[in-house]
Amino acid sequence: MTYRHARWLLAVLVPLALLTSACGDDDDGDAATGGGGACAEVSAPDDAPAITIGAQDFGESAILAEIYRQCLVAAGFDVTIQAVGGFRDLELAAFESGDINLAPEYAASMLEALNGQAGEATPDAVETTELLNGYLADIGLVALTPSDAVDTNALVVTEATSEELGITAISDLADHTDLVLGAPADCETNAFCLPGLQSVYDIDLSAGFIALEPAAVVPALDEEEIDIALLFSTDSRIVSNNYVLLDDDEGMLAADNVLPVLTTELAGVEGLAGLLDAISESLTTDGLTELNRRFDVDVEDADDIAASHLESAGLL
C-alpha cells in the first residue's frame, strides 16, 4: 500500500514538472508582415549565422531590439531576442559567452563603461564612436554608424523647484548643493553623473545623494522626496510631467547616440550592416521619445511600437 502511495506522489510531481518543461512558451513572433519595405528587399545569405539580440530591461532597449529584430526577420535572418537584465556588464558577459551577438547601445556611455570612466567621450558622435571602436576591437565587437537619436543622462527638477530657486541650467546648482539628488546607484561612479558634476562643474551633490532604482525616481520627485532626479533624455515624462530639463551649459554630457554593437563575425555578413545603418538613419531623438511615450504612457507593447515605427519609416 505504502509503496504505491509513495510512488504515486513521485509519479504526480515529476511528470508534471517534465510536462510543463515540454510546453515551452510560444515564440514571440507577431511582427507585422505587411507589404515589403526596404528591409524585405535585402536577402539574408544562406549561411548567415543565427542572430541573438541582447535587450536590457528598460522600455527603450526593448523597443530598439524589436526594431532590429523585425527588420532582420523581414530580410530572412533567423533572429531571437535575449533579455540581458539591467546591467551593462551582463550584456558584455553575454557577448563574451556568445549568448548574444548584437545589441542596441549608446556611444558615450558604452565608451566610458569600457575605459573605466576615464572621461574620453566627447559631444561629437563620430569622434566618440571611433574611440569606442578602439576598445570594442579588443573584445571582438564593432559599433556601426551612430544615429541622430541621442539618449543621454538628464538632470531634471520640477517646475515648482525651478521657479522657486531660479534653476534652469546645471551650473545654477552651484548655489544649491544642499538639494537632494535621486538616481540609480551607478550615479556615484558614472562619468555623466556625480563625478562629472564634480569635475566639470565643480559641484558636489554627494552629501544628499539617495540611490533609487529607476522606477522609484519619478514618484520620489513628484512627491518632493528628492529635489533633482536623474532621468534619461528620451523619457517622455519629462514633458508630460512638466519637469525642467537642466541645461548642460558646460558640456558634461557627451554623445550618447544610439548605435548597433555587434560581433565582427556578424558585421561581415553581407547586407546586415546596411540594414542596421538604415534603421539608425530612421531614428531621431524626438521620434525615440515618442516611441517611449507610447510604451510608458499608452502601455503599448514593444513589438507593436517597433512595427509601426518601421512601417512609417518605409522599412517594413
Q: Which stretch binds another protein (CB under 8 A): 65-73, 166-174, 180-188, 253-261?
A: 180-188
- Count Cβ atoms below 10 Å from residue 19 Cβ, excluding itself: 9
C-alpha cell read off for 31: 511582427
Site for another protein in 4-63 (CB under 8 A): 5-6, 8-9, 12-14, 16-17, 20-21, 23-26, 57-59
Q: Is 242 helix (H, G, I), strand (E, B) or coil?
A: coil
| Residue 137 binding another protein, by CB under 8 A | no
Interface pick for another protein out of 167, 295, 309, 316 (rule CB under 8 A)? 295
Q: Which stretch binds another protein (CB under 8 A): 64-72, 84-92, 158-166, 255-263?
A: 84-92
| Residue 179 binding another protein, by CB under 8 A | no
**Is the CB of 204 or the CB of 270 nearer to another protein?**
204
| Residue 135 binding another protein, by CB under 8 A | no
Q: Is 316 helix (H, G, I), strand (E, B) or coil?
A: coil
Q: CA-to-CA distance for 68 and 93, rounded, in angstroms?
A: 21
x/- string (CB under 8 A) for another protein, residues 194-223?
-------------x--xxxxxxx-xxx-xx
Find out whether 251 and 123 touch, Cβ atoms under 8 Å: yes
Q: CA-to-CA distance for 104 and 96, rounded, in angstroms?
A: 16
Interface pick for another protein out of 35, 46, 47, 97 (rule CB under 8 A)? 97
Give, in order, the Cα–Cα distances in Å from 237 to each of 154, 270, 293, 298.
12, 40, 8, 12
| Residue 160 binding another protein, by CB under 8 A | no
Q: Are strands 258-263 and 102-106 parallel, antiparallel or unpaired?
A: antiparallel
CA dihedral 200, 204, 206, 208 (to 10 degrees): -130
Number of residues assigned to the chain: 316
Binding site for another protein (CB under 8 A): 2-3, 5-6, 8-9, 12-14, 16-17, 20-21, 23-26, 57-59, 82-87, 89-90, 93-94, 97, 99, 182, 184-186, 188-189, 207, 210-216, 218-220, 222-223, 225, 295-296, 299, 301
